[in-house]
């Protein structure tokens, strides 16, 4: 399983990473507001991640890092 690191306080809630993930790993954290006042993206199903890093490449704010 790949390791996802999400710097939640830098997320602006655009949802691009959620859209691009082929395994539907990501979603918004409905229980959290970050420092910018957004609901940040989080890994809802981390066990499904295949480490493709599409999410990290798509994020305009470099919030996500993927280690394989």
Interface residues with ligand SF4 (CB under 6 A) are 2, 4, 11-17, 20-21, 23, 25-26, 41, 49-55, 58-59, 61, 63-64, 66
Closer residue to ligand SF4 in complex, CB, 35/52: 52
Closer residue to ligand SF4 in complex, CB, 2/35: 2
Alpha-carbon distances of 5 from 22, 41, 45, rounded to whole Å: 18, 11, 14
Q: What minimum distance in Å lies between the beta carbon of 9 and ligand SF4?
A: 10
Q: What minimum distance in Å lies between the beta carbon of 47 and ligand SF4?
A: 10
């Amino acid at each position: 399983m790949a390791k996802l690191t999400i710097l939640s306080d830098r997320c602006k809630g655009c949802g691009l990473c959620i859209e691009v993930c082929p395994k539907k790993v990501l979603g918004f954290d409905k229980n959290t507001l970050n420092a910018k006042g957004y609901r940040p993206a989080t890994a809802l199903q981390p066990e499904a991640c295949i480490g493709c890093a599409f999410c990290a490449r798509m994020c305009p704010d470099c919030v996500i890092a993927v280690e394989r």
